[in-house]
Amino acid sequence: MNTFRLIIASPDGNKFDGEALKLDVRGVEGELAVMAGHIPFVTSLVPSPCTVWLDYDNKKTARLDGGLLTVDGNTATLLSGSFEFDE
Protein backbone atom coordinates (compact mmCIF):
# COMPACT_ATOMS: atom_id res chain seq x y z
CA MET A 1 0.00 0.00 0.00
CA ASN A 2 1.67 3.22 -1.18
CA THR A 3 0.89 6.32 0.85
CA PHE A 4 1.84 9.98 0.63
CA ARG A 5 2.17 12.77 3.18
CA LEU A 6 -0.95 14.89 3.41
CA ILE A 7 -1.06 18.24 5.17
CA ILE A 8 -4.41 19.99 5.61
CA ALA A 9 -4.19 23.48 7.07
CA SER A 10 -6.61 26.29 7.83
CA PRO A 11 -6.30 29.58 9.72
CA ASP A 12 -7.18 27.57 12.86
CA GLY A 13 -4.05 25.43 12.42
CA ASN A 14 -3.23 22.05 10.94
CA LYS A 15 -6.27 19.80 10.65
CA PHE A 16 -4.30 16.78 9.41
CA ASP A 17 -0.62 15.97 8.97
CA GLY A 18 0.11 12.34 8.25
CA GLU A 19 0.10 9.50 5.75
CA ALA A 20 -2.87 8.97 3.44
CA LEU A 21 -3.70 6.42 0.77
CA LYS A 22 -5.92 8.78 -1.27
CA LEU A 23 -7.47 12.25 -1.16
CA ASP A 24 -10.76 12.94 -2.98
CA VAL A 25 -11.68 16.63 -3.54
CA ARG A 26 -13.40 18.85 -6.08
CA GLY A 27 -11.26 21.28 -8.05
CA VAL A 28 -12.49 24.10 -10.27
CA GLU A 29 -12.43 21.71 -13.23
CA GLY A 30 -14.12 18.77 -11.50
CA GLU A 31 -13.56 15.86 -9.14
CA LEU A 32 -10.01 14.68 -8.56
CA ALA A 33 -8.11 12.11 -6.54
CA VAL A 34 -4.53 12.31 -5.32
CA MET A 35 -2.54 9.16 -4.62
CA ALA A 36 1.13 8.38 -4.03
CA GLY A 37 3.27 9.21 -7.04
CA HIS A 38 0.85 11.79 -8.46
CA ILE A 39 2.40 14.31 -10.85
CA PRO A 40 3.13 17.76 -9.36
CA PHE A 41 0.37 20.32 -9.82
CA VAL A 42 -1.52 23.21 -8.21
CA THR A 43 -5.28 23.76 -8.39
CA SER A 44 -8.00 25.81 -6.76
CA LEU A 45 -10.68 23.91 -4.85
CA VAL A 46 -14.38 24.70 -4.67
CA PRO A 47 -16.62 24.29 -1.59
CA SER A 48 -17.36 20.59 -1.43
CA PRO A 49 -17.09 17.37 0.54
CA CYS A 50 -13.60 15.93 0.95
CA THR A 51 -12.52 12.36 1.74
CA VAL A 52 -9.17 11.35 3.21
CA TRP A 53 -8.54 7.61 2.79
CA LEU A 54 -6.16 6.41 5.51
CA ASP A 55 -6.22 2.88 4.09
CA TYR A 56 -8.63 0.77 2.03
CA ASP A 57 -11.09 0.36 4.92
CA ASN A 58 -10.63 3.58 6.89
CA LYS A 59 -11.66 7.02 5.66
CA LYS A 60 -12.40 10.43 7.16
CA THR A 61 -14.92 12.76 5.53
CA ALA A 62 -14.94 16.52 5.82
CA ARG A 63 -16.39 19.70 4.38
CA LEU A 64 -14.18 22.44 3.00
CA ASP A 65 -15.09 25.93 1.83
CA GLY A 66 -12.69 25.93 -1.10
CA GLY A 67 -8.99 26.54 -1.09
CA LEU A 68 -5.77 25.55 -2.78
CA LEU A 69 -4.21 22.12 -3.33
CA THR A 70 -0.56 21.60 -4.21
CA VAL A 71 1.11 18.29 -4.96
CA ASP A 72 4.90 18.11 -5.09
CA GLY A 73 6.98 14.97 -4.75
CA ASN A 74 5.20 12.66 -2.35
CA THR A 75 3.48 15.47 -0.40
CA ALA A 76 0.09 17.09 -0.93
CA THR A 77 -0.84 20.29 0.88
CA LEU A 78 -4.45 21.47 1.10
CA LEU A 79 -5.01 25.04 2.33
CA SER A 80 -8.57 26.05 3.15
CA GLY A 81 -10.23 28.95 4.96
CA SER A 82 -12.50 26.49 6.75
CA PHE A 83 -12.07 22.72 7.07
CA GLU A 84 -13.92 20.47 9.49
CA PHE A 85 -13.89 16.68 9.72
CA ASP A 86 -17.25 14.98 10.22
CA GLU A 87 -17.36 13.15 13.54
The answer, yes or no, to whether residue 80 has pLDDT greater than 80, is yes
Burial group, residue 48, by CB count within 10 angstroms (0-12, 13-18, 19+): middle
**Among positive and negative, which fits the CA dihedral 59, 65, 66, 68?**
negative
Q: Provide the CATH topology of domain 4-85.
A: ATP Synthase; domain 1 (2.60.15)
Global confidence as pTM: 0.94
What Å distances lie between residue 29 and 13, 17, 25, 46, 64, CA to CA? Answer: 27, 26, 11, 9, 16
Q: What is the mean pLDDT of residues 27-33?
A: 95
Confidence of residue 8 (pLDDT cuts 50, 70, 90): very high
Answer yes or no: are the C-beta atoms of 29 and 39 closer than 8 Å: no
Q: Where along the chain do its domains lie?
A: 4-85
The pLDDT value given to residue 1? 76
